[in-house]
């Protein structure tokens, strides 16, 4: 066992780092080649207890080289780089973006204030300017990158409160103010969570019913707004989905923008998954009206080939991003009210945060928007292809016609409890490991759900999944 000064020198030794790094990169490249070639399973599922026991033993015993440790991590994790990974809304990161994460980890620049993240802060602002312009926003737009859609949505709603509320709640409190927002009943649960964090309670989130395609029924908005006012609520915002998590359905953003402009409300769009389509000339129409929103959240790690977490929060009026927080932190900055683009902690919850923009910048400077356009084209085509193959198969049905690369479907057997049967199918697939998909509960029952985020997924992979399900279903009920 190394001790004292020697252990510190060993931990920071550049040549040791070089040797372990070369070994790790070779290992990752081999892993990438293996999963792309379908030479291993999409997931080797182990129950939680078994995983916990293994890693407890590993930590206690500390046996094996770093390479052994990394290899165990690779083999015991879900393989998002596998063409038959069709599970949650997380993309397979481009290897260049993953390498940027290594630079981020070694530099460890916090980015709360300019001096701690000089390059990363400037890069972030350039990325946001270029991306927001491509999305259709004007030169006055601005924003920040933050750790995930949940945090971005909460930050946006705090800004909406600061701009639209009749009371300065941040400084004066809001015990006498009953605020609320209007949102689709199919919206992500983080919107409900944000409302409760802000102290608005259950009455603060007014859920609007959806149509047969799981899109907000925007024609109901005037009725629900009028009823809220009768109940003494001050509605300040509407939250649109682009798209909903369960079905990938897109609200009519132009209709929402028309309503908000007429009523003087803030329009926030949770575009964590689907806002990326605004960067594709081929699919931009799917999110038509996005540029009319007051704020938009978009995850680079869902549809733009970037490692988790990296979320853009974009404001149509850039200065609104400074309205969220206003407080003293003299050890960070001297002017609490000054709008300094280079001191990011003035606009985010995070003080210390990752150098997210660097990963996006690396992709843009190397490949341009063409990489994202090609990727979005492939996964959107795969969504349409999956739906076509389900439609053509007599044993399956779609929950709804897909609007993107999220598809909900189920196996149909006359006389069977379809909820129970499809839950068993999903569990059987998890234990089998050749494919990774998830499930979701919709108004019409439980459905299997795929998100086709891997550009290497082929029609043959999709057909193989349906064939496997059809072969398993009879023995499962």
Q: Does residue 334 surpass a pLDDT of 50?
A: no
Domain ranges in the chain?
4-92, 109-367, 370-476
The Cα diameter of the chain in Å comes to 72
Tell me the C-alpha distance between 461 and 170, whole Å: 52
Name the 3-class secondary structure at 55.
helix
Lowest mean pLDDT: which of 133-142, 229-238, 246-255, 316-325?
316-325
Average pLDDT value for residue range 397-411: 98
Tokens of 100: 């940027």
Question: Does 46 score more than 80 pLDDT?
Answer: yes
Mean pLDDT of the 373-386 span: 98
∠ CA(431), CA(435), CA(441), 5° rounding?
Answer: 80
> What is the structure's pLDDT at 328?
42
Cα 75 to Cα 82: distance, rounded to the nearest angstrom: 12
pLDDT above 50 (res 329): no
Q: What is the pLDDT of residue 169?
A: 64
Taking residues 371-387, report their average pLDDT. 98
User: What is the pLDDT at residue 52?
Assistant: 96
- Residue 96 CB neighbour total at 10 angstroms: 15
Tokens encoding 474? 């009879």
Say which range, 96-100, 114-118, 265-269, 431-435, has the weakest mean pLDDT: 114-118
Fold (topology level) of 109-367: 3.40.640
Going from the C-alpha of 128 to that of each of 78, 80, 215, 276, the distances in angstroms are 31, 26, 29, 13
Q: Which fold has domain 370-476?
A: 3.90.1150
The per-residue pLDDT for range 226-274, each reduced to its tens digit, is 999 999 999 999 999 999 999 999 999 999 999 999 999 999 999 999 9
Cα separation values, 235 from 193, 259, 264, Å:
17, 13, 10
For residues 412 and 470, give the distance between their C-alpha atoms in angstroms, rounded to a whole number: 10
Alpha-carbon torsion, ordered 130, 135, 141, 145, to 10 deg: -70
Best CA proximity match to 349, nearest among 129, 101, 111: 111
Residue 330 has pLDDT above 70, yes or no: no
DSSP letter assigned to residue 210 = B
Can you give the pTM of this predicted structure?
Answer: 0.93
Lowest mean per-residue pLDDT among 45-54, 168-177, 360-369, 455-464: 168-177
More confident residue, 386 or 345: 386
Q: What's the whole-number mean pLDDT along residues 157-183?
A: 80
Where are the strands (E) in 243-373, listed by range? 266-270, 295-299, 311-315
**pLDDT of amino acid 350:** 81
Report the alpha-carbon distance of residue 110 to residue 107 in Å, rounded.
Answer: 9
**Chain centroid to CA 114:** 27
| Backbone torsions φ then ψ of 326, nearest 5 degrees | -155, 100
Phi, psi of 121, deg, nearest 5: -65, -45
173-200 residue pLDDT tens: 666 579 999 999 999 889 999 999 988 9
pLDDT of 321 reads 83
pLDDT at residue 336 is higher than 70: no
Band (pLDDT 50/70/90 cuts) for residue 24 is: very high
- For the segment 119-144, the average pLDDT, to the nearest whole number, is 95
Label residue 436 by pLDDT band (50, 70, 90). Answer: very high
Pairwise CA distance, residues 167 & 145, whole Å? 28
Cβ neighbors of 168 (< 8 A, separation 6 or more) are 162
Which phi and psi angles does 141 have, rounded to 5°?
Answer: -70, 160
Q: 6 by DSSP, 3-state: which?
A: helix
Under the banding of pLDDT at 50, 70 and 90, the label for residue 345 is: low
**Res 110: pLDDT:** 82
Q: What mean pLDDT, rounded, does the chain reach?
A: 92
What percent of the chain stands above pLDDT 70? 91
Look at residues 169, 127, 119 and name the one whose alpha carbon lies nearest to residue 324: 169
CA distance 451 to 299: 15
- Counting Cα atoms < 13 Å in the Cβ hemisphere of 369 gives 14
Whether the pLDDT of residue 1 is over 70: the answer is no
Pairing of strands 396-398, 406-411: antiparallel
Parallel, antiparallel, or unpaired for β 396-398 and 179-184?
unpaired
Per-residue pLDDT, averaged over 348-362, amounts to 90
Residue 471 is predicted with a pLDDT of: 96
Number of CB atoms found within 10 A of residue 461's CB: 22
Specify burial of residue 395 (Cβ count, 10 A radius: 0-12, 13-18, 19+).
Answer: middle
- Please report where in the chains the tokens 């199918």 appear, as a residue: 425
In angstroms, what is the C-alpha Rg of the chain? 24
Amino acid 343: pLDDT: 67
């Amino acid at each position: 066992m190394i001790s004292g000064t020697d252990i510190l020198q060993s931990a920071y030794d550049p040549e040791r780092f070089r040797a372990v790094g070369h070994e790790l990169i070779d290992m990752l490249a081999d892993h990438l080649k293996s999963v792309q070639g379908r030479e291993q399973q999409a997931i080797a599922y182990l129950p939680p207890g078994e995983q916990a026991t293994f890693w407890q033993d590993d930590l206690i015993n500390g046996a094996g080289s770093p390479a052994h440790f990394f290899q165990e991590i690779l083999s015991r994790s879900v393989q998002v780089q596998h063409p038959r990974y069709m599970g949650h809304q997380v993309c397979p990161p481009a290897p260049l973006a993953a390498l940027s994460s290594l630079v981020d980890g070694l530099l460890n620049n916090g980015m709360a204030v300019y001096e701690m993240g000089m390059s990363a802060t400037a890069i972030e602002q350039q990325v946001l300017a270029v991306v927001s312009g491509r999305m259709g926003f004007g030169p006055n737009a601005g924003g920040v990158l933050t750790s995930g859609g949940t945090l971005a949505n909460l930050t946006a709603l705090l800004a909406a409160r600061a701009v639209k509320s009749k009371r300065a709640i941040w400084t004066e409190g809001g015990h006498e103010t009953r605020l609320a927002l209007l949102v689709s009943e199919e919206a992500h649960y983080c919107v409900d969570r944000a409302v409760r964090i802000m102290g608005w309670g259950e009455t603060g989130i007014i859920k609007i019913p959806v149509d047969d395609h799981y899109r907000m029924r925007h024609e109901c908005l005037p009725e629900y707004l009028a009823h809220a006012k009768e109940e003494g609520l001050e509605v300040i915002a509407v939250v649109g989905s682009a798209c909903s998590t369960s079905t990938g359905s897109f609200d009519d953003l132009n209709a929402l923008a028309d309503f908000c402009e007429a009523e003087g409300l803030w329009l926030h769009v949770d575009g964590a998954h689907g806002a990326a389509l605004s960067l594709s000339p081929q699919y931009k129409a799917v999110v038509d009206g996005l540029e009319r929103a007051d704020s938009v959240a978009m995850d680079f790690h869902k549809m733009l080939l970037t490692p988790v977490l990296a979320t853009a929060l974009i404001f149509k009026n850039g200065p609104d991003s400074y309205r969220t927080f206003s407080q003293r932190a003299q050890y960070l900055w001297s002017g609490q009210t000054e709008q300094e683009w280079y001191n990011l902690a003035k606009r985010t919850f995070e003080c210390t945060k990752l150098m997210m923009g660097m990963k996006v910048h690396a992709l843009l400077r190397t490949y341009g928007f063409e990489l994202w356009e090609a990727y979005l084209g492939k996964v959107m085509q795969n969504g349409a292809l999956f739906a076509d193959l389900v439609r053509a198969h007599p044993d399956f049905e779609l929950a709804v016609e897909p609007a993107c690369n999220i598809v909900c479907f189920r196996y149909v057997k006359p006389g069977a409890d379809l909820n129970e049967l499809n839950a068993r199918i999903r569990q059987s697939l998890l234990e089998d490991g050749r494919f990774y998909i998830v499930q979701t509960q919709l108004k019409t029952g439980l459905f299997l759900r795929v998100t086709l985020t891997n550009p290497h997924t082929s029609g043959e992979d999709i057909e193989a999944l349906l064939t496997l399900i059809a072969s398993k279903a009879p023995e499962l009920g």
